[in-house]
Amino acid sequence: MRAGPALTRPVILLFSDGEELGLVGASAFAETHPWATDVGCVVNLEARGTSGPSLLFETTGPSADLLPIFARSAVRPFASSTADLVYKLMPNDTDLSVFRARGVPGFNFAFIGGLERYHTPLDDIAHLDASSVQHQGEQALALTRELAASDLEHFGTAESVYFDVLGLTVVHVEVWIVRVVAVLTLLGALLRARRTCLASRIGTAGAIAALTGSLLALGTVLVLSWLLVATLCSVRGVPDPASAHPTFLRVALAALSLAAFCATASLRALRRGGFGAGWSVGCFALALVAASTAVLLPRAAHLVLVPALGWLVADFVFDPGRTDATALQRASASALVLALEAMLWIPILHATELGFGMRLGPVIAGPIALALSAAWPALVDASVHALRRSAWFAASAACACVLVGFAFPAIDAEHPAWLNLRYVFNVDEGVAQYEASTFGARLPADLAKTATFTRASAPPFPWFSLDASMHVAPAPLWEVAAPELSVLSSEQLGRERHVRVRLRSARGASRLHLHVADNVHIAAARWNGRELRETDLDTLRDLKKQLYFAVDADGIEVELTVDGAGPARVHLLDQDWTLPEPMRALLDARPREFVPRADGDVSIVGRSFEI
């Protein structure tokens, strides 16, 4: 930015940490820094992995005003309002959420490839793809320069539907325009379908057969792809059946989809009306889905509206539904629709695999099946013999790919599965246990031999959530000091009692976890001469039940308010990455293709106190 032309607006470079612990750094800036009130727009940069293109996955504020700015500056854009829709349906937050809550518009970029390395020891510089960093930097620099030259004071409220076209440009259209175009497309498709059906004498039976056939083929693909991926996950004992070598499963899902469509199209009861019925009904059905999507989920409407509009245009230009239409007319019309679908859906397929791996079989196979739905008219026009041969060939290819895929590992040291090990010591009950969280994978055989592991039936402490993939085993008691709670003062004021306590990890653990009963809430926390009161931060008002603290050796002072005069019970845990020596056998038995993630391998020591 300094090397380029002078900017007309100031730019703040904010490096904020503590995001995973509750957007701590961004909240601190927004709530305490004098510059926070000057922010007109935010460009937030994320990474959920180590590779892949920089994806614009969220906009906050009036996207109809934001997207033209992005479109003018975008460098090899990878953007979709569908990603924005999916993200907003998820419970996730980023630092941009802090500014969104304050009404500040912004852009959220991230590269999301390499999910298996995310928050693991492999989430490092050595595995970071330099081209991902370059792309993200190019996007941020160009957009920042464009924002600095834009009018940020007069944003409206309109929303846009947007998507990139092969990384060359960004198309953005306001939602109301999308809805109008969708209604007009549906009306045009209805009129054209009626004309084709009358001209080609396609009766109700032919129309029903065409609709039933394409829907049956689509449903078959979704069911078979789910069964295939679920079976592979079960047999291979991992949540992603092809993380290390996905090519064979990709081809298998595509071949399986083709086999299902060819086999369904060969059924004589579904071939009534031939190409004309399949074409006219397909055009109307896609336009109907597009109109419905434009009303209910407009930010995803372009995925079906653009192919539906292309289908209608192809119908006007080539009129392939006529009984006397040539093979060239029909092929040209089908090719136009398929090209539009490929342009829109291949990036979605790419983003889906980057973000979720190969574990979502129906989500990956679905766009392939929808594309084949556009080819349904041509399929029912082909000979039954050719279709059955094609179905057998495609099914055989799918089976061969699955079998060959077994020759390659589903995971390896560079594409690992996740496995966390914990030592948990409940001082009150005098019980300790090992915990192995596999995140859906099967417990490795070598690790299972090191202790008497069983599936967890209850969390280690009542307020913990039960990890369905957790295995537990009895563990020897660890001669280690338990966390300490000292009552500094206790004062009764009417029905409430105010208690000041000092929390401390006697073993020097860096985190403390305080959990309070229903009749207790956390009013304030003090450390190193600083104080957070209940009225200072939304965090303290929201977390009435529990708080995590990263503390110094002398601990932290906390003020509690107790409703009632009787005693109250609180639980105090400390957490660290220091592990007891007997746990070394478990760590050594964990295979190289399994790695810890997030907090990783930790020890937790907990006890309760009555105050």
pLDDT-derived band at 467 (thresholds 50, 70, 90) equals: confident
pLDDT tens string 541-561: 444 566 667 667 778 888 888
Q: Are 584 and 421 in contact (CB under 8 A)?
A: no
**pLDDT number for residue 541:** 47
594-607 pLDDT, tens digit each = 999 998 999 999 99
Q: How far is CA 284 from CA 36, 130, 216, 368, 384, in A?
A: 51, 46, 17, 20, 26
Can you tell me whether residue 196 is helix, strand or coil? helix
Q: Are 201 and 194 in contact (CB under 8 A)?
A: no
Of the candidates 56, 165, 74, the residue with the CA atom closest to the CA atom of residue 110: 56
187-201 residue pLDDT tens: 999 988 888 777 666
**What residues have CB less than 8 Å from 443, skipping those under 6 apart?**
436, 453, 471
Residues with Cβ < 8 Å from 611, sequence gap 6 or more? Answer: 485, 487, 490, 499, 501, 560, 562, 567, 568, 569, 570
Mean pLDDT of the region 407-414:
94
Q: In 3-state terms, what secondary structure has residue 340? A: helix
pLDDT in tens, 62-95: 888 899 999 999 999 999 999 999 888 888 899 9
Would you place residue 536 in the very low, low, confident or very high pLDDT band (cuts 50, 70, 90)? Answer: low
The answer to whether 550 touches 511, Cβ cutoff 8 Å, is: yes
Q: How far apart are CA 436 and CA 467, in angstroms?
A: 10
Q: What are phi and psi of 21, to 5 degrees?
A: -90, 5
Q: Is the pLDDT of residue 305 over 80?
A: yes
Instruction: Give the mean pLDDT of the chain.
Output: 89
In this prediction, residue 547 carries a pLDDT of 66
pTM: 0.87
pLDDT of residue 535: 62
Q: What is the pLDDT of residues 244-282, one digit of tens each?
A: 999 999 999 999 999 999 999 999 888 887 888 888 888
Residue 404 has pLDDT above 50, yes or no: yes
In this prediction, residues 349-378 reach a mean pLDDT of: 84
Q: 408 and 245 in contact (C-beta within 8 Å)?
A: yes
Q: Is the pLDDT of residue 538 over 80?
A: no
Q: What pLDDT sits at residue 247?
A: 93
pLDDT of residue 567: 82
Each residue of 229-247: pLDDT tens digit? 999 999 999 999 999 999 9
| pLDDT at position 67 | 92
Residue 125 has a pLDDT of: 95
Please report which confidence band the pLDDT of residue 432 belongs to, taking 50, 70 and 90 as the band edges: very high
Percentage, residues of the chain above pLDDT 90: 60
Helix segments in 505-572, DSSP class H = 538-542
Q: What is the 3-state secondary structure (H, E, C) of 527-544?
A: ECCEEEECCCCHHHHHCC
pLDDT value of residue 540: 47
pLDDT bucket at 155, cuts 50 / 70 / 90: confident
